[in-house]
Each structure stands twice: as C-alpha cells, then as structure tokens.
Amino acid sequence: MFGIAFSTSAQAALDVLHADGDFVRDTSGRAVILRGVTTITQDNNGQDMVMFSSEYQRIQSWSFNVQQIRVEGCRIGLIAPCQADTAYLNKLASWVDMAAQQGIYTIFKATLYETFQGSTRSTFSMLRLGIEGGATVQNTNINAWKAVWRRFLNNPNVIGYDFLNEPLPGSDDVDFTRRYLFPFYRLGAANLQQTDPSKIFFFQPALQNSGTQEPLGVGNAVFAPHFYVLPQLYTATQLMNALLSTPARSGVPVIISEYGDPNVSIGSLSSGTPARDREDASLFDAHALGAIRPWYTTNGAWALRQPDGSPNPRIAVFSRPYPQRRRILTFDYFADTSVRAQTQIYVPRNLGTGGFSVVSNDGLQLDSTSQFYDSNSQILTISSFSPESPLR
C-alpha cells in the first residue's frame, strides 16, 4: 500500500518512482497509487497563481501525494514564436520544492490554453501544427520540453511529463493515432529517454477520430487518459472498461490524469456533487488506479476550493482511506512476500470520532491509538502482515 514517510524536517529528495508492468513502483518494489490535484500557474480569471507552503500542507492533508502542474506552453517555448521564460521555470522549481517538503511528487503537463484563448483552438492548433505540420514544428515542441527536462534532470521529486494534453486531431484523418499521434509520442519518449531516463513519459489517447489502436511500445511510460463520462454515449463503468482494455495501455500502468466534470449529471446523480464523485471514486478504488483532480483554485465551477478558501465539499469523497504504497499485487491486500518494505495506508483524521482499525487475515490488528499511526501525516505504517516477520 502506498504512502510517503512524511516528516516536518527538510526533505532533500523523495524516492525515485518508475513504471513497471501494471503499476508505478518505488525503489523497494512497492506499487504506488498516485492521487492528487492539478495546480495551475495561471488562474481561471487570467491572473498569475501564487502557491505557498501552507497550500501544499493543505493538499497533503486531503490525502494527496502528487501535484500535476498545468504548464503554460507558451512560457516554455512549446510553439513558435513563444520563447522560454527563465523566471517561469524558476517558479515551477519553487513549486516542486515546496511540494516535496510535504512528500508530494510533481508531474508536468503542458497546455496552450493561454496562447489561443480556448481549449478547442489550442488543441486543434497544437495537433495540426505540431503533429501534422512536420519535423520543424515537432522539433520546436520537443526542444522546448528538453529545456524543462534538463532543468529537473535527475530530480526525483519530479516523476515525469504528460507530453500532450487532450490531443484533438487537426484534420479529418480517421487513422490519426497510428499515423500522427503515436509516432510523435515515440519521438518525444525517445528524446526524454536520452535526456533523463529516470523520468516517466505520460501519454493521453486522442479525444476523437483516433482510428487504429496499438500499443505505444516505449519503456517507462504511463497511460494517462482523462475520465469524463458522456451519459448519452456510455456509463462510467463502460468508459472505465474501454480505457483499461484499449491496446494503447498494453504493458503500461494507468493513471486517470483528469476527472470530476462539474457540469455532467448521470441519471439521478447530479453534476458537481459528492454523490456523483463517489461513482468515480469507487471505480478508481476497484481498479487500484491513481487519479488527479483539477483545479487547485478558488475560481470557477472546477475549483477545489470555495471562494472563501475552504475546501469544496467534493474533496471529502477522495479524502478517504486508500493504500498509498503497498507491497501487494492485488487490491484485496494479499501480501507479496518478495517485496521487503513497509506498507503505508492513508487514514484521514476526520474518518470518525470512533477511530479506526486495520485487520489482516493473519491476526494483525492496529487502530487509531497505535504507535504506528502518525496523526500529523495521517499515515499508518505496517512493516509486515506475515507472522514469520512480526511487526517491528
């Protein structure tokens, strides 16, 4: 089960994570479930966002262990005539450092929203120019990413990079994924591997007109689809099954890199409510998936904080017990005895006034009064479920 050994002292570096089979794992071989929020450097009202250490303390207290920074593509020079902004890279670095102090990892995701004022135009332009436009524009894109990759070279607090957000075909080509998108991904992944092989290459599926599906076929990669249900077309369960069965995710872990549309109701489940979110949360738990929720702001319908700064009530759905680092192979918590490392479980302080208990089938029982529960980090640490290796 996953979790991070938090402390109040300065934390120079988090454990290195890598993609391995169906899971992201740490150096001890434990499966890691990454759940977090998307932080944004430009707020939904067009103003620059500022983050403080207290913000990351709040994010950690909600159970989250990863931030996905939505990078402004123009400010890293992702597409001409934009140029990389050194001050902006320094800002990103400060956010990475503040997050790491709370045991929170970072993933970068680049967008062009702020360049073209609108998601449709931004994704259309990015794909048409960047993918179908040939080598010149593609190289501009990759070289811009390289500047970011070099800035965080061998920095374990940065897990990796979500290479292209919401790829929408720039033409009517019905075989867009095979002809354009995946070749571009493979080129990007090869360059990342050359620049910093310790980082994970996160990739999203095409939004539509994707055509023939196939495995990406690159190492240290994670399939990172968004999870937005369109009830007129499919249920949440059908969407999950489709994402997990697509050839694109063959041989790689899956993380839901966005979810929680506040504008879509499904049957009796009203949009923007905790009840609607519970359906998603149950599916993520059932499949042992990490998930990242947009946006960490107080502005707009998607905001995770209310205008007065207090948490959106929907946060409570995901501030719940779940295995963070786990030495088990299935989500039923059967021990993997080949992994010799601690299991760590997030258990929120607000779970209930009656406390909690964790029981294993070999007789081990721990509760909220245990010396192994840190109420500050809200992490319960278990060294072993095995009677041959007693708790220590």
Q: In sequence order, what are the residues at sequence separation of 6 or more whose Cβ sits closer than 8 angstroms to the Cβ of residue 377? A: 4, 5, 6, 60, 103
Question: Mean pLDDT score of the chain, rounded to an integer?
Answer: 80
Amino acid identity, position 244? L
Report how many helices (DSSP H) and strands (DSSP E) the chain contains, helices first: 10, 19
Alpha helices in 152-181 (DSSP H): 176
pLDDT, one tens digit per residue, over 142-174 is 999 999 999 999 999 999 999 988 887 766 567
- Which residue carries 């994402």 as its tokens? 243
Phi, psi of 53 (to 5 degrees): -55, -35
Residue 8 scores a pLDDT above 50: no
**Mean pLDDT computed over 28-46:** 91
Minimal CA–CA distance to 14: which of 155, 185, 204, 150? 155
Q: What is the pLDDT of residue 7?
A: 32
- Which residue carries 């192994």 as its tokens? 372
pLDDT, one tens digit per residue, over 72-130 is 988 998 877 788 999 999 999 999 999 999 999 999 998 866 544 433 344 444 545 45
> pTM for the whole thing?
0.82
Name the fold adopted by 34-319.
TIM Barrel (3.20.20)
pLDDT, one tens digit per residue, over 279-327 is 888 899 888 899 999 999 999 888 999 888 888 888 878 776 677 776 5
